[in-house]
A = this chain, B = another copy of it.
């Protein structure tokens, strides 16, 4: 199974996430921008994801919640800078549990021989905000979400 690589250099307000998938980039792009697909993989399995809005165009806003098994809800929202395309997605990101802390995410989909490397580059307003995100346990949730994405693209991809 592919490994999720997370780079968070000490003292820098950035996180760089890289993950390879066995599917063409058009499919990965769809899985990131079609709410019906996104809801099937984003986050760990125990959380139930509900998308309130997801308007994938320049200035379009998005919001979703993750509901834990004990009923606790976590809300997230942001806005797209430029219209998302297979060449990349630029969006803001705010966890409503830490209001006022906004990051800027740049997603790219690079394809080689039918496999796609997804990269998410996030910049934060401060190193402290970046550190808080790293310490929130994002790593395991991210890896589990990407495993679900492996499964989703396998179901969707034409058998070769």
What residues of chain A have their CB less than 8 Å away from a CB belonging to chain B? 12-14, 55, 58-61, 78-82, 88, 90, 92, 94, 100, 102-104, 106, 121, 123-125
Contact = CB atoms under 8 A, between A and B. Distances in A.
Contacts of A12: 12-13
B121 A123 contact: no
Please state the number of chain copies in the assembly.
2
A14 to B, nearest CB: 7
B59 A81 contact: no
- A13, A82, A121 interface centre (most CB from chain B within 10 Å): A82
A103 to B, nearest CB: 7
Contact of A59 (B14, B60, B94): B60
Contacts of A94: 81-82
- A55, A79, A90 interface centre (most CB from chain B within 10 Å): A79
